[in-house]
Structure 1
Amino acid sequence: MHHLTSKLMIYRNIDKNSILFRLSDIYRQFEAESYVKDDLIRDIYIEINRLLDISTHYGFDNNLWHNYLAFVLAMTENPFTRVSEKVGANNGTVNKFAKGDFSIFKQLFDFDFSKLENELAIDCFTVITNYKAVVKGEQIFNKSVSEKVQELSQAIEQSEDDIELYQVITGFYKTYGVGKLGLNKAFRISTDDKSGFLCPITMTSDMLLDDLVGYESQKKELIKNTEAFVEGYRANNVLLYGDAGTGKSASIKAILNQYYSQGLRMIEVYKHEFKELPKVIAAIKNRNYRFIIYMDDLSFEEFEIEYKYLKAVLEGGLEPKPENVLIYATSNRRHLIRETWSDRSDMSEDEMHRSDTIEEKLSLAERFGVTIGYYKPNREEYFNIVTNLARRHPEIKLSDEELRSEAGKWEMRHGGMSGRTAQQFIDSLLGPV
């Protein structure tokens, strides 16, 4: 194994503490017969345990060794993989090195561990190459990455020659991208050094815009702007404002699901993290994806100055916001800042200063080129949402009249008419009797 990994060219930047290189070093000791048996077995079990941890996290199954190698290929970022995610197979000279590395990975796929197992009297490699994972709920592992990696693993297994192998791997990069930005949908800023600055959000809803009943004109405007963005045309920052529970956040999450396959990604940033916005943009500006920076429930109180960081990004500052980044925000306030708000540095009654403060307040909201209002439904719209949601569940047997009656009672006890209240009412009907 060591004689294979030592020949890698493009993929030499794989972490030397990775399972692949650690096992390679173990195999080098084994072949050189420069080891203490018990110590070598202990080191092998440490790497197998690490492999099982990754497999559990991503829900890998069957041949965990193959899944792991495919995972390494999918997650390794280097100049070649980043070019491949843009153009797929290409004709550069670097392809000679790439094909050589892919051939090495194929040999690693087919590596025979039997000699090692026989001499050390262990069977852990046989176990991990014929593994039956316990079926878990999708919340336990990152299903999105799991399915893609296992698809790549199976395609490599079935490839018949180096040409097909090259097409399979570069095709994967072009279809799904590379690394965590390529394979995941959504991210948040991380304080965990192990996760890197941007940490994948592995649990995302599968809601689409058609699942959101009503608000047709609002959805149409959101779609128009987002489609322009993912297709590489000029597009605007978007502010969705209006009443609570009307589907503002749900619409943005649905947009992510709808356009993820076209390269859309989302980064959720909270108000207390706004000072990190330049760092977020620096991390994503040169990648082959379109990023929406998502700010939920955005508003500013009198004592908060975080709006200044947002304003600097919206206005461009010295460095213009990259063309592959937009900001989508939701707020219950049309102008983001309460009407009673006043700048802490402006406690004077001087009229000119007051005018400047008001202007700064208004200019923040105006930086969102598209503003879309979401309002509480009237009674008929509310009942229409309830009825549409109920008819998606055949187990709900209530007639339209019964639904109207019960939904009316529900909203009076649970915060008034809204899409959220309607969904909560339906959830109550689907719960245990």
Structure 2
Amino acid sequence: MDLHNLLVFQDLFNDDVFRDIEKTISRENLNKGAVAAKLINKAEQLGLSGNIIRSYMIYTVAHQSNCVSYAVEKSGGKIGKSLYQAFCHDIELIEKLLLLKPSLLLDCDLLDDYEPTNINQSTAFNLLVENLDKAQTSKDKADVFINYYRTFGSGDMADYRAFRWDSDEDSLVGIKHFETMKLQDLIGYEYQKQELLANTKAFVEDKPANNVLLVGARGTGKSSGVKAVVNSFFDKGLRLVQLTKEQLIDLPVIMERLRDFSSKKFIIFLDDLSFEEFEVEYKYLKSAIEGGASAKPENVLIYATSNRRHLIKESYKDRGANDDDMHRSDTLNETISLSDRFGLIIYYMAPNQQEYLDIVDGLLKQHGIELSKEELRVKAGAWEKEHSGRSGRIAQQFVTHYLGQVYNK
């Protein structure tokens, strides 16, 4: 097994664990205990189980960027014939390493079927391992990896559902603890959820889809709806990129960065968005939506939430005569034109009394608790009167409080 003949995966030799495994196979005089210790450390860090050499190699091949993963991203999922042959050649070599029993190489039996403290919970990685187990030939395994790159990407793109933008480094940073909520967990607002779901589904399926503005009362689940649809389509290549208002100036750079990941879809998410009269960042957003000098990437949409229908604050001065502005209608058009750039506007109204009680009831039932209609009306009603009115957020806060009281008894 001469791993130095690798064509696509030569960068594996930059990994010290892989180098030590290769040297041990080549019968170089290495401390086997030290190599085993490195593998145990990696297993605990990454949550790897089973045959640790196999698990570690699969993880490394999946996460280390290479010319195949790059080609898949740049070409929208395609790969050239010659590159495919080179990739199959490498997978055939690595396959021999995957079949190697660690105890025979490193004299450490526990590495043959290792059980880490915390098992890796990555959806993408575990699906990759499952599909590789089913693959019969090295070519089948190569196809599994290519499909993995096509669906999930490599490195952070495969591990994270959502990212934030680091303006200092001009880079995407994975959000490790992104909320795992699902649409079916959100109670109420069925019409709004279906509108959001349908638009996002069309986007993921390469059909026409709009930028979306979710507008309405606070605490009604606008942001939760966006996060939930991202979770729904993670395995279809959808990712979220969250920006602050101040980062809108970076939108041209961000758009070009996302364009490179052409096999993925991105929702740029702007939460609780609004602008004061003196803020000019909205001009970057208008330009990004319209495409500016450079066409907007086809794999990017912008979703924003706001409590304002018109994102730019409108002053009384704008509504009346204005000695400083002879063209008052132009000022008004400027004020409302940003929200008009969003092709789909979804409204979230504050729930009425019955809708509020239905949300509380649904949330309680998710925890196996069902109150009588009268008890629900009295307790949930008293809670909303003591707080800032009826909303999904207030309903969730009541449920959290109620559960705390129940569990403390």
**TM-score, normalised with respect to structure 1:** 0.81
Q: Mapping of 1:267-346 within 5 angstroms?
A: 267-286=241-260, 287-340=262-315
- Aligned counterpart in structure 1 of residue 217 of structure 2, from 221, 237, 243: 243
Shift of 1:159: 4.8
In the alignment, is the contact (CA less than 8 A) between 2:274 and 2:308 conserved in 1?
yes
Paired with 2:249 and 2:41, the residues of 1 have a C-alpha distance of 35
Is residue 361 from structure 1 mapped to residue 335 from structure 2 by the alignment? yes
Paired with 1:68 and 1:192, the residues of 2 have a C-alpha distance of 33
- Aligned counterpart in structure 1 of residue 140 of structure 2, from 120, 141, 164: 164
Paired with 1:307 and 1:128, the residues of 2 have a C-alpha distance of 56
Shift of 1:8: 1.1
- Aligned counterpart in structure 1 of residue 96 of structure 2, from 107, 116, 134: 107
In the alignment, is the contact (CA less than 8 A) between 2:102 and 2:112 conserved in 1?
no
Shift of 1:184: 2.7
Is residue 415 from structure 1 mapped to residue 388 from structure 2 by the alignment? yes
- Over 3 Å counting, the alpha-carbon distance change for 1:224 and 1:159 in structure 2 is closer
Deviations 1:352-403 (A, max 9, x none): 3655443322221111111111111111111121122222332x24212101
Q: Mapping of 1:111-122 within 5 angstroms?
A: 111=100, 117=106
Shift of 1:306: 2.2
Paired with 1:418 and 1:209, the residues of 2 have a C-alpha distance of 17
Paired with 2:343 and 2:135, the residues of 1 have a C-alpha distance of 49
1:256 maps to 230
Q: Mapping of 1:2-151 within 5 angstroms?
A: 3-4=2-3, 6-14=4-12, 16-23=13-20, 27=24, 31=27, 44=34, 48-49=37-38, 54-82=42-70, 92-111=81-100, 117=106, 123=108, 126-135=109-118, 143-144=121-122, 147-151=123-127
Paired with 2:393 and 2:231, the residues of 1 have a C-alpha distance of 20
- Over 3 Å counting, the alpha-carbon distance change for 1:271 and 1:64 in structure 2 is farther
In the alignment, is the contact (CA less than 8 A) between 1:66 and 1:153 conserved in 2?
no
Paired with 2:168 and 2:95, the residues of 1 have a C-alpha distance of 34
- Over 3 Å counting, the alpha-carbon distance change for 1:349 and 1:74 in structure 2 is farther
- Over 3 Å counting, the alpha-carbon distance change for 1:238 and 1:148 in structure 2 is closer
Paired with 1:113 and 1:64, the residues of 2 have a C-alpha distance of 7
In the alignment, is the contact (CA less than 8 A) between 1:387 and 1:400 conserved in 2?
no
Paired with 2:226 and 2:280, the residues of 1 have a C-alpha distance of 26
Paired with 1:360 and 1:327, the residues of 2 have a C-alpha distance of 20
- Over 3 Å counting, the alpha-carbon distance change for 1:160 and 1:239 in structure 2 is closer
In the alignment, is the contact (CA less than 8 A) between 1:62 and 1:133 conserved in 2?
no
Counterpart residue type for residue 98 of structure 1: F
Shift of 1:162: 2.4
Equivalent position SS for 1:351: coil
Equivalent position SS for 1:205: coil
Shift of 1:324: 1.0
In the alignment, is the contact (CA less than 8 A) between 1:186 and 1:268 conserved in 2?
yes
Deviations 1:230-278 (A, max 9, x none): 1112221111111110010011111112222222211111112222222
Higher deviation after alignment, 59-68 or 175-184: 175-184
In the alignment, is the contact (CA less than 8 A) between 1:106 and 1:156 conserved in 2?
no
Counterpart residue type for residue 131 of structure 1: Y
- Over 3 Å counting, the alpha-carbon distance change for 1:380 and 1:282 in structure 2 is same
Deviations 1:93-142 (A, max 9, x none): 33321111001211222346668746xxxx5xx54443221147xxxx7x
- Over 3 Å counting, the alpha-carbon distance change for 1:53 and 1:366 in structure 2 is farther
Shift of 1:167: 3.7
- Over 3 Å counting, the alpha-carbon distance change for 1:80 and 1:248 in structure 2 is same
- Over 3 Å counting, the alpha-carbon distance change for 1:341 and 1:197 in structure 2 is farther
- Over 3 Å counting, the alpha-carbon distance change for 1:8 and 1:342 in structure 2 is farther
Paired with 2:279 and 2:353, the residues of 1 have a C-alpha distance of 38
Paired with 1:288 and 1:135, the residues of 2 have a C-alpha distance of 31
Paired with 2:191 and 2:386, the residues of 1 have a C-alpha distance of 30
Counterpart residue type for residue 15 of structure 2: S
Gaps of 5+ in 1: none
Equivalent position SS for 1:426: helix
In the alignment, is the contact (CA less than 8 A) between 2:76 and 2:263 conserved in 1?
no
Paired with 1:334 and 1:32, the residues of 2 have a C-alpha distance of 69
- Over 3 Å counting, the alpha-carbon distance change for 1:409 and 1:165 in structure 2 is same
Is residue 211 from structure 1 mapped to residue 185 from structure 2 by the alignment? yes
Q: Mapping of 1:385-424 within 5 angstroms?
A: 385-394=359-368, 396-424=369-397
Shift of 1:224: 2.6
Paired with 2:78 and 2:282, the residues of 1 have a C-alpha distance of 44
In the alignment, is the contact (CA less than 8 A) between 1:185 and 1:265 conserved in 2?
yes
Shift of 1:319: 0.5
In the alignment, is the contact (CA less than 8 A) between 1:238 and 1:368 conserved in 2?
yes
Paired with 2:191 and 2:104, the residues of 1 have a C-alpha distance of 67
Counterpart residue type for residue 399 of structure 2: I
Aligned length: 401
